[in-house]
Structure 1
Amino acid sequence: MIKKIIVSTCLLFSFVSFAQEGTASPYSFFGIGDVRYKGTAEMRSMAGIGVEQDSIHINLDNPASFASLKLTTFALGGSLATTQLKNASTSSGVQRVTLDYLAVGLPMGKLGVGFGLIPFSSVGYKIQSIAPDASQNSKRFDGSGGLNKVFFGVGYAISPSLSFGADAHYNFGKIETSNLEFLSGIPVGTRETNNAILSGFNFNLGLLFQKSLTKKINLYSSLNYARESTLKSTNTSAISTVLIDAQFNTTLVDAASDVVTNANLKIPSKLTVGLGIGASKKWLIAAQLSTRDAASLANTYNSFNNVSYEKYQKYSVGGYFIPNYSSFASYGKRLVYRAGLKYEKTGLVVNSKSIQDTGLTLGIGFPVTGSFSNANIGLELGKKGTTQSNLVQENYMNFCLSLSLNDKWFQKRKYN
């Protein structure tokens, strides 16, 4: 039954992941868009913490985790994002429902493999500035698309305490933007359209290590290194004359020939280190640091003098608590309670202001009685950006849901 669910969901996800508009952030205008992937719902509920070797959950950020799986694991996650956008004078609210990841992990003794699809970043903005009269230009900016990742990874248990892993990602996607400029009261304007086709490869290496400090307390540590990678962008742009109606809908009048250019976007190497202590299947508290040098993500259509990129950093503290993992009398005691805090410098600088993201995360894991499968819900409350320097602040509340379905595959039957 679980296998049928997996196949059906894969087909659904493959269709929806390319059709969805995963963000409404004005900051998605820059670079490759708003980086939407924050980890699985279980990790996301702990501010991204992933230091423990887990036998029934996939850690998509560290390929060494595949070696810890004891059952075939299917992971699916989605989000409902509610964001209040505000500047110094106005505010508005937006909502988005997205599917965040789809992955399968297969245990093979000391070896484990994992593969899946991650919609990594999204572009989704609609910005409009209407001048009060014909003495100034009115403008409208629209954007959609994003970057997706298909990955395949292998993990190997060098010893019961140490696991090593590596994975390869193929990155692909398309970003479409439109910039419309016109004079109020005049039904003719100029529109510039840009289509960027993105593609490239990158590779990750990971380690997970644990050591017993006492009979019940363990030390957990993790290391993940993503190599520097290049995204090739093939850009097609065109300028056209359009008719504009009262609702600002456009009709093409005349268009110039397409201009095709190429650009290489550089994503620097990224290092993530985590350390924690806890009792297995009881509690965990951990801290994690991620760092990456300044990226080079300015493309031909979104390069501006007031926009630059700086060093990326993320600091997280989080953990979980399970009252009684093996309780038969009380289902509530088998629930997994998660929480975390995060501070993130996104690496984007606009109008000399560093765009930062801070947040609180909470979550609960619900075990499925009679199996190792589970459902997980999470809540993120946070703030991104600022209202200073004519910028936009995003106050967000993200609700995430995941399924981690576990089953035994590839077993030889003893009886027909």
Structure 2
Amino acid sequence: MIKKLVLVFIAFFAIQSYAQQGTASPYSFYGIGSLKFKGTVENRSMGGLSIYSDSIHVNLRNPASYASKNLEFYNKETRPVKFSVGGSYSSLDLESNSGNDKASATTFDYIALSVPMGKFGLGFGLMPYTSVGYQLESVNTDGNPLNRFRGEGGVNKVYLGLGYMLMEGLSIGVDAHYNFGNIQNSTVEFLYDNQGTLAQYQSRESNRSDLSGLSFNIGVSYKKMLTKKLELVSGVTFSPESNLTSKNKRTFSTIRINSTTGQEFALNTIEQDLAAIGLAETDLIMPSKYSFGAGIGQPRKWFVGGEYTVLKTSKFSNALYSSTGTNFEDGSIMSLGGFFIPNYNTLDGYFKRIVYRAGIRAEKTGLNINNESIEEFGISFGLGLPIGDIRVFSNANIGFEMGKRGTKNSNLIQENFVNLQLSLSLNDRWFNKRKYD
């Protein structure tokens, strides 16, 4: 048990220390950043499918999964305590009508624990929710820099959840999330004289928003054996609309830029009185979200299913993040995926116990720029590799996804991405019934 806890925290700190920026997407410029949390590596390897849950894997998308039936392997007395920690690496090829570039980002994705308590189940953990990380430039007609935009930060979630099994196959649950983080961005305006020579001093606007607030996620999970081998699996989740409080600061600086390194040096700075214009503290509306899906399969053998998610992103608003030419519309995600296990508990052949996963997803992000809806498409594959004692069903998970986001229309940017995800899903049996007094 201690060795597993040490392994979890070593993995967590190793990933966290290496992950300085959670995204490199230019589209994180808008709103409060790109949506970072998309489920566990197991979910993402199946196209983001989150309706499937069992007694040996953490499901961060549906809190009803914390409550599940006990394992026959444990004489139906209990089910394991589940730990999970994950991180990812993303490589981007950025294309526009005027050029192309490359970018990459490595990030910590989640750390979670689920504890069985009879018909109840408790879950808690930490994950990034959105991420900001961009460096963009606009140019004038001569091809010289006109503006430089930089941003970093994002919103994180700490959650505590409880699930309850109403009857065998039917569970409900709720998560309470505390959202926190900050977003920092700056815009540098380059000034030129009449001959087009760059001026000695430039101007910079810098903004910082510290965000915090509560949100909730409610879930239902239903399973039923249709035949001796075929099982129906379904799930529904709903996140009500919530608010984040944003405490804002804005400064203006005269700067000098090192022509060799590009480093900016502020010569004098003044702070704008945002309270006078009602922007010192603003409320940011976090849109509601709901999802539903269903699938069929043979327990511990195979599964295939689909899920549809609706995000009411048209409700997103915050005066500080308004941008000309940018609108938010309702978003949606369609996911199809599944898994296959040749023989989950065989002692004759390691490869027969590997979980093989695959999926596909199509997403309308809810962001509309220059009358172009920003959409995303991805194809994913993954493996669940058994590790340790076969009696606790722990595994290491590898996920691979490739796809594209955005468009080159209307002078926008198309991102072609490749994502590699890694996680540890570690189980242990804490509670044993005593056989003898």
- TM value normalised by structure 1: 0.94
Deviations 1:152-176 (A, max 9, x none): 0001111111011011000000000
**Residue correspondence of structure 1 range 112-127 to structure 2 within 5 A:** 112-127=121-136
- Which letter does structure 2 place at the counterpart of 1:403? L
Question: Quick one: which amino acid aligns to residue 150 of structure 2?
Answer: D
> Partner of 1:139 in structure 2?
147
Report the alpha carbon displacement of residue 20 of structure 1 after superposing the two structures with TM.
2.3
- Per-residue deviation at 1:294? 2.9
**1:151 lines up with 2:172 in the alignment:** no
Q: Which residue of 2 aligns with 1:336?
A: 355
The reply on whether 1:58 has 2:67 as its aligned counterpart is no
Which residue identity is paired with 1:174? N
- Counterpart residue number, 1:292: 311
Q: 2:118 aligns with which of 109, 112, 115?
A: 109
Query: Equivalent residue for 2:412?
Result: 391
Q: CA separation in 2, counterparts of 1:361 and 1:4? A: 30
**Cα distance 1:6–1:414, how it changes in 2: closer, same or farther (>3 A)?**
farther
Task: Give the stretch that moved more between structures: 237-246 or 283-292.
Answer: 237-246
**Stretch moving more, 384-393 or 402-411:** 402-411
- Offset, 1:301: 4.3
**Separation in 2 of the partners of 1:237 and 1:413?**
63
- Tell me which residue corresponds to 1:34: 34
Distance in 1 (CA, whole Å) between partners of 2:17 and 2:205 is 28
Within-5 A mapping of 1:318-397: 318-371=337-390, 372-397=393-418
Q: Secondary structure at the match of 1:339?
A: strand
Aligned to 2:265: 251
Q: 1:220 aligns with which of 233, 252, 261?
A: 233
1:262 corresponding residue in structure 2:
281
After TM superposition, list the pairs within 5 Å mapping 1:184-195 onto structure 2. Answer: 184=192, 185-195=198-208
Residue 106 of structure 2 is matched in structure 1 by 97
Check conservation: 1:229, 1:268, Cα contact below 8 A. Answer: yes
1:327-377: CA deviation from partner (whole Å, max 9, x where unpaired): 211111111110011000000000000000011010011111423110010
Number of the residue aligned with 2:243? 230
Please list every run of 5 or more consecutive structure 1 residues that lacks an aligned counterpart in the other structure. none
Identify the match of residue 424 of structure 2 among 397, 403, 407: 403
Q: In the aligned structure 1, how far is the partner of 2:345 from the partner of 2:328?
A: 49
Listed one character per residue, the Cα deviations across residues 112-150 of structure 1 (whole Å, up to 9, x for unaligned) are 10000011111000012344769x872111000000000
* 1:161 match: 169
Kept after mapping to 1: 8 A contact 2:285/2:317: no
How far is 1:6 from its partner? 3.5
For the 8 Å contact 2:12–2:85, the answer to whether it is kept is no
CA RMSD of superposed structures (Å) = 2.1
Q: Is the 8 A contact 1:266 1:295 kept in 2?
A: no
1:271-321 deviations in whole A, cap 9, x for unaligned?
110100000000000000000223444544431230000011000110001
| CA contact 2:222–2:233 (8 Å) conserved in 1 | yes
Counterpart in the other structure of 2:76: none
Letter aligned with residue 186 of structure 2: S
One-letter code aligned to 1:4: V
Inter-partner Cα distance in structure 2 for 1:369 and 1:252: 55
TM-superposed CA distance for 1:75, in Å, is 0.3
Report the Cα offset of residue 151 of structure 1. 0.1
Aligned-residue offset at 1:89 = 2.4
Q: CA deviation at 1:4?
A: 2.9
Q: Counterpart in 2 of 1:80?
A: 89
* Aligned equivalent of 1:314, options 333, 341, 344: 333
Deviation of the 1:5 alpha carbon: 2.7
Number of aligned positions between the proteins: 413
TM score, norm. by length of structure 2: 0.90
| Structure 1: distance between partners of 2:338 and 2:31 | 32
Shift of the 16–189 alpha-carbon distance from structure 1 to 2, 3 Å rule, reads same
Contact 1:267 1:295 in 2 (8 A): no
State the identity %: 44
366-375 or 381-390, larger mean C-alpha shift:
366-375
Offset, 1:404: 0.3
2:7 aligned partner: 5
SS at match of 1:237: strand
